[in-house]
Structure 1
Amino acid sequence: MTYLTYVCVFFAFLITAAIVYFFFKYHRKRPDEVGAPIHGDMRLEATWIIIPSILALSMFGWGAAVYVDYRHTPPDTLDIYVVGKQWMWKAQQPNGLKEINELHVPVGRNIRLILASEDVVHDFFVPAFRVKMDVVPGRYNTMWFRPTKPGRYHFFCSQYCGTNHALMGGWVTVMDPTDYAAWLSGTSGGAANPVDVGAKLFEDKACATCHIADGSGRAPSLNGLYGAQVLLADGTTVTADDAYIRESILQPNAKIVAGYQPLMPTFQGQLTEEQIIALTSYIKSLQSQPVPAKGAGIAPSARKK
């Protein structure tokens, strides 16, 4: 940012000074005066092509490096789900605590927001952090940031989403880690653990009938699934992340696991975003469970030795 500021200020003064200088030097001194013809100079032409090109490419390269780094989420993030709907934001902390138009995070920690919409396209924007991301129905988008200073910072929807779009905002409260831990434990007494909620949904929706832990069911075992590479029927592999799990719940025929038939029914319209988040949390909790030798669906090269 300092580099861009210096370049802009330098050329602003340079161009302004040149305009003032040429105004006085070349203004018409007599009514009948005709200016002398000026022929081009290749050195001057080359200078104002090469120097701006170098500056523009350096800005582009720097910006591209920053963007690529931003789009690669660090592995040690604190994951928080955020759901947008007309016209509010609902956040769910890792322990299941839910907030509306509020988001509490610890300072000095990488935070990843997993964003979903229940109705139309929204956009989660925190100007002070210089981060924003579209929130699109039917899929997850993610963004991350690392708050460095405690305080309260405004966030809002920057994509027009209907009548009360201008009111769809809230506050990020950045707290010291000890204060955040105390807040989390002191306000979560009535919050249901998302893993427990997901486990109950897993039973209520009869998922356990096919997804048997030992791999003997009509669908692959989910033990060790999250974060692993899944081998598909077409021979390709896909990472079992939040987006893959969500798609498998709502559109189970989109990606068929190798060795299995497309028997799973769709749950599109039968589950809320909060229920999908709870099921995802439950499947994440199975990450450390032993993976069966057969019936896991995980690519052989991705199995833990």
Structure 2
Amino acid sequence: MNANPIFWLPSASVQGHAVDTLFFALLLVSGLVILLVFGLIVSFAVRYRHGSPAPRGEMPALIRREFEIGWTAATFFLFLFLFWWAAASQLSGYDPPQEAMEVHVTAKQWMFKTQQPSGPREINSLHIPVDTPVRLAMTSEDVIHSFWVPAFRFKRDILPGRLTQGWFQADRVGTYHLFCAELCGTDHSVMGGSVTVLSKSDYAAWLRAQPQGDDLGEAGGRLFVRLGCAGCHAGRSPVHAPDLAGLWNRTIPLADGSQVLVDERYLRDSILQPRREIAAGYEPIMPSFAGSVSEDELAQLVAYIRALGAADPAGETTTR
């Protein structure tokens, strides 16, 4: 592990530098306000102490009113600026770039399981390339956990039955501590691991050295058939169900007149709660798979649907 300074942990990600800049700016503003307030308190206490010759006449009402308006307006606009800066910085962490590398994280008592789309799986460990945006798609198998990498200034809660996401871009090679920042049970204190940031060439070598296994899409394709999903959702299926080819990232109409984006959240909900958001023109006949598929299998099914290509002229679906 990288050595941790006693007073300050250097940032190792692009987002971390932004968080540090915001933190020091808030610290500076707070310090200046404290100095100003205490300076005025001490100055007035000395100048207007009992028996001093300082004039004590009342300030003209016009000057007093302008001073109060100016002080109030200055603090109000300073607050708005700091609020906008902090909110924009935090919200940007939920909007990963399109080209971001995707990593699926499943938390359970008391470990983090990670898997990359190309297949490598790890427990309490994650290897990523430097200077590459990484999107984490996270869910929990039991209770609330939290994925926290202090060196990246990155922390996201992981919730059971719900998909959460976040992204970061590491800009320093090294190995960094990973913690669970949410009390999750008896062995919460030992739930953790490491994130290893490699140069792009070293990361490619690490990938080649991993056991050759099926990627998420291939595993999801087999699961899709085994669960009988192909019997309804294949291009030539006699059952009136949506064709999933080319469906990913499209906006579709729903039976209630609203629209929804076909993303991971929608696909997960459609598998677990199929009567919640019914596609327009289809009957709510799909059974719920809640309790029948694990979080890992949900990730595989979503990856398979995401990888489906457009339908060919014969009506069959193809996989990209």
TM-score (norm 2): 0.82
Which residue of structure 1 aligns with residue 19 of structure 2? Answer: none
The Cα offsets for residues 237-262 of structure 1, whole Å up to 9 and x where unpaired, read as 21111111111111111122222222
The 8 Å contact of residues 178 and 193 in structure 2, kept in 1 or not, is answered as yes
1:45 aligns with 2:65: no
Which residue of structure 2 aligns with residue 144 of structure 1? Answer: 167
| Percentage of identical aligned residues | 40
Larger RCO: 1 or 2 (CA < 8 Å, sep 6+) = 2
Which residue of structure 2 aligns with residue 249 of structure 1? Answer: 271
Question: What one-letter code is carried by the residue in structure 1 that aligns with 2:220?
Answer: G
The 8 Å contact of residues 139 and 159 in structure 2, kept in 1 or not, is answered as yes
**Structure 1 CA distance for aligned equivalents of residues 36 and 313 of structure 2:** 70
Gaps of 5+ in 1: 297-305
1:88 aligns with 2:88: no
The 8 Å contact of residues 111 and 124 in structure 2, kept in 1 or not, is answered as yes
**Structure 1 CA distance for aligned equivalents of residues 157 and 185 of structure 2:** 15
Which residue of structure 2 aligns with residue 115 of structure 1? Answer: 138
Number of equivalences: 291
Which residue of structure 1 aligns with residue 208 of structure 2? Answer: 185
1:13 aligns with 2:41: no
The Cα offsets for residues 13-52 of structure 1, whole Å up to 9 and x where unpaired, read as 333433443343344469xx9x957667323322321221
Shift of 1:87: 1.3
Shift of 1:295: 11
Question: 3-state DSSP class of the match of 2:233?
Answer: coil
- Alignment RMSD (CA, Å): 2.6
The Cα offsets for residues 31-90 of structure 1, whole Å up to 9 and x where unpaired, read as xx9x95766732332232122112111111222332343332221111111011111111
The Cα offsets for residues 160-184 of structure 1, whole Å up to 9 and x where unpaired, read as 2111222222211111112112112
Shift of 1:116: 0.4
**Structure 2 CA distance for aligned equivalents of residues 128 and 266 of structure 1:** 41
Question: 3-state DSSP class of the match of 2:281?
Answer: coil
Question: Which of 174, 177, 196 is the equivalent residue of 1:154?
Answer: 177
The Cα offsets for residues 119-159 of structure 1, whole Å up to 9 and x where unpaired, read as 11122222222222221111101111111111122222222
1:100 aligns with 2:123: yes
Question: 3-state DSSP class of the match of 1:162?
Answer: coil
**Structure 2 CA distance for aligned equivalents of residues 292 and 162 of structure 1:** 54
Q: 1:293 to 1:237 in 2, by over 3 A?
A: farther
Which residue of structure 1 aligns with residue 246 of structure 2? Answer: 224
1:167 aligns with 2:186: no
Query: Any residues of structure 2 matched to 1:119-134 within 5 Å, and which?
Result: 119-134=142-157
Q: 1:87 to 1:29 in 2, by over 3 A?
A: farther
**Structure 2 CA distance for aligned equivalents of residues 214 and 180 of structure 1:** 42
Question: 3-state DSSP class of the match of 1:161?
Answer: coil
Question: What one-letter code is carried by the residue in structure 2 that aligns with 1:244?
Answer: Y
The 8 Å contact of residues 232 and 256 in structure 1, kept in 2 or not, is answered as yes
TM-score (norm 1): 0.86
Shift of 1:92: 0.7
1:212 aligns with 2:234: yes
1:79 aligns with 2:102: yes
**Structure 1 CA distance for aligned equivalents of residues 45 and 96 of structure 2:** 53
